[in-house]
Amino acid sequence: MSDVLARLRALQEGDLPTHGGSTLAYVYDSGLAEADEIGRTALAQYGATNGLDPTVFPSLRTLENDLVGWAARLLRGEAAVGTVTSGGTESVLLAVQAARDASPGITSPSMVLPSTAHAAFHKAAHYFGVRAIVVDVDPVTFTPRPEDVAAACDEATVLLVASAPSYAQGVVDPVPAIAAVAAERGVRCHVDACIGGWILPYLRLDGVEVPDFDFAVPGVTSISVDLHKYGYTPKGASILLHRDASLRRSQFFASADWPGYTMLNSTLQSTKSGAPVAAVWAVVHHIGDDGYQRLARTAYDAAVQLAGRIRTIDGLTVLADPATTLVALRSDERADVFTIADEMAALGWFVQPQLSFRGQPASLHLTVSAATAARMEELVKALESATRAAQLAGPVQVAPELAAAAGALDPSTLDDDAFDGLLSVAGLGDTATTGSLPDRMAPVNALLDVAPPRLREALLIAFLDRLMRPTWSAAGTDQHPLRRLVRRTAAC
Ligand SMILES: *Cc1c(COP(=O)(O)O)cnc(C)c1O
């Protein structure tokens, strides 16, 4: 048994560090070792429980109602109800699904999204057949103009969306104006506060001027807030709140159309581990309001400081003043951001490339968590030296013929051989078979950057398809009876 755990630890050595503040996307580190320990213990304690039925594990219902109450208080929803989901995407999916199903008479429902809305809304559009009407944001503020949102609505619009803040640029949309448009039309307005919903209320408590974005704003009907981001909890938890119980009803699903137990679900999952709810509950109560207020202030001050320091680095600009804890930056023409990201990786820092989009150049995204604050000087020095190195190297050049060819390809006409060829050209051929990424991602990113969005998607799906292939790794595989059976079957 200790052997398999040792093997797990060895495997993990190839992963990005989840703690220490040097991974500036995907993970969130409070820097509080005791909170992490409590989360891990609660996960283990509840790993075998099932949240399928709130009457058989009553403790899970208690924990969930307590957490939803905490979130409703933070987000000022006096009559709010909610559900703990597996993550931000599930919260967003359910908000869209609930909006769609609250208007069953509308045959081709639509939702209006700022172009900065999280991709989870496009996933919801894809899964649930809700048309996404995208409104471009102002190129300077990165927020949508409310009049553009109003003009984009059609007769079948069931939902308007605003972010607090958006992931890519970290700015808060004009929620009161967008919610007013929704209220006037009698449709729902979802505020995606997945990444800011556990930060903004605590910043407000700490005296920071925070724009109104929550249920205090008339017309806001639902809010998503992730615990596995700035709640600093183990992964697998977000909350979807509705302003009142009547708005949540269409989110729930029951089926009596089979001979087993009548299925009754509040989320996309049916059997679901109780572990994330228990872990979140334990961590949230351990850190507490005072702890979160301090953590929010620490990460926010660090983000503001980081943005200020980036502005002093020759060649870099910050896209927007951080509204919370997110910083996005661009480089001038002397360097490309993809090379800066590679140089940062070589120095031990993970920053996230964001490809060019609807006329906006490529950028880097840095999610600052409390643990990063203690390493600010180191981070700024790394950015300075990575930028200098990238300027010396110059931007990655994509051959113009290649860029033109990429622009002309129709991904729907490509077969598997064509994708294999394209992945090799992109520098991902070996990764697809070995699973290890190239040392330098800049050439890959530069090529993806000139590909139109549909081709980017198709290429990455082909990549994922090749990456995720099962291994037959049981010890002594050849002697395994199942293996012999398979071989015999294949032979006949
Ligand atoms: C992270 C995020 C999501 C998606 O959440 P996941 O937990 O990754 O599924 C949605 N919206 C915003 C604004 C986010 O930051």
**CATH number of residue 359's parent domain:** 3.90.1150.10
**CATH number of residue 218's parent domain:** 3.40.640.10
Mean pLDDT of the chain: 95
Q: Are residues 114 and 183 in the same domain?
A: yes
> DSSP code of 138?
P
Q: Are residues 385 and 430 in the same domain?
A: no
488 pLDDT tier (thresholds 50, 70, 90) = low
Position 486 scores a pLDDT of 61
Q: Is 21 part of any domain?
A: no
Cα dihedral: 106, 108, 113, 116 (round 10):
150
Position 426 scores a pLDDT of 83
The half-sphere exposure of 362 on its side-chain side, counting CA atoms within 13 A, is: 23
Provide the domain count of the chain: 3
Query: Residues 140-155: what's their mean pLDDT?
Result: 98
Q: Quick one: which of 19, 328, 359 has its CA closest to 195?
A: 328
> DSSP code of 379?
H
Residue with tokens 């429902």: 109
How do residues 334-379 score in pLDDT, each as one tens digit? 999 999 999 999 999 999 999 999 999 999 999 999 999 999 999 9
Helices (H), 142-273: 146-152, 175-185, 200-205, 245-248
- Integer Cα distance of 376 and 392 in angstroms: 24
Residue 251 Cα distances to 78, 128, 272, 477, angstroms: 20, 13, 17, 46
Q: pLDDT at residue 476 above 60?
A: no
Q: Which two tokens mark 313? A: 């680095």
What sign results for the dihedral spanned by CA atoms 59, 200, 305, 138? positive
Q: Is 13 part of any domain?
A: no
| Amino acid, res. 474 | A
Q: Are residues 301 and 279 in the same domain?
A: no
End position of a domain, from candidates 259, 286, 313: 286
End position of a domain, from candidates 246, 262, 286: 286
Q: Is 485 part of any domain?
A: no
Identify which of 24, 86, 89 to mutate to test ligand 1's pocket (most ligand atoms within 8 A of the CB).
89
Distance between Cα 68 and ligand 1 center (Å): 18
Provide the terminal-to-terminal Cα distance of the chain, rounded to the nearest Å.
39
Q: Is 473 part of any domain?
A: no
Position 437 scores a pLDDT of 80
Position 445 scores a pLDDT of 94
Q: Which two tokens mark 335? A: 């360097």
Q: Is 299 part of any domain?
A: yes
Position 407 scores a pLDDT of 85
Residues 6+ apart with CB under 8 A from 448: 355, 426, 456, 459, 460
Residue 442 lies in domain = 400-467
Q: Are residues 339 and 362 in the same domain?
A: yes
Distance between Cα 117 and ligand 1 center (Å): 10
Distance between Cα 272 and ligand 1 center (Å): 20
Q: pLDDT at residue 242 above 80?
A: yes
Distance between Cα 490 and ligand 1 center (Å): 44
Identify which of 86, 116, 118, 230 to mutate to test ligand 1's pocket (most ligand atoms within 8 A of the CB).
118
- Integer Cα distance of 91 and 105 in angstroms: 24
How do residues 40-99 score in pLDDT, each as one tens digit? 999 999 999 999 998 999 999 999 999 999 999 999 999 999 999 999 999 999 999 999
Q: Which two tokens mark 298? A: 């620490």
Position 485 scores a pLDDT of 65
Q: Are residues 281 and 355 in the same domain?
A: no
Q: Are residues 146 and 239 in the same domain?
A: yes
Pick the atom of ligand 1 nearest to 228's CA. 7
Q: Are residues 203 and 59 in the same domain?
A: yes
Q: Is 11 part of any domain?
A: no
Q: Are residues 160 and 107 in the same domain?
A: yes
Distance between Cα 206 and ligand 1 center (Å): 25
Q: Is 419 part of any domain?
A: yes
Q: Is 483 part of any domain?
A: no
| Amino acid, res. 249 | R
Q: Are 263 and 107 in contact (CB under 8 A)?
A: no
Position 54 scores a pLDDT of 85
Q: Are residues 146 and 238 in the same domain?
A: yes
Q: pLDDT at residue 491 above 60?
A: no
Pick the atom of ligand 1 nearest to 92's CA. 10
Q: Are residues 265 and 377 in the same domain?
A: no
Q: pLDDT at residue 6 above 60?
A: yes
- Integer Cα distance of 408 and 404 in angstroms: 6
Q: Beta strand 222-226 with 188-192: parallel, antiparallel or unpaired? A: parallel
Q: Are residues 389 and 431 in the same domain?
A: no
Q: pLDDT at residue 275 above 70?
A: yes
Q: Are 328 and 319 in contact (CB under 8 A)?
A: yes
Residues enclosing ligand 1, CB less than 6 A? 87-89, 92, 118, 120, 163, 167, 192, 194-195, 226, 238
Query: Residues 453-462: what's their mean pLDDT?
Result: 93
Find the length of the chain.
492
Lowest mean pLDDT among 124-133, 197-206, 450-459, 466-475: 466-475
How do residues 95-125 score in pLDDT, each as one tens digit? 999 999 999 999 999 999 999 999 999 999 9
pTM of the model: 0.95
End position of a domain, from candidates 338, 360, 393: 393
Distance between Cα 243 and ligand 1 center (Å): 20
Position 492 scores a pLDDT of 53
| Amino acid, res. 221 | T
Q: Are residues 267 and 153 in the same domain?
A: yes
Q: In the chain, what percentage of residues exceed pLDDT 70?
A: 96
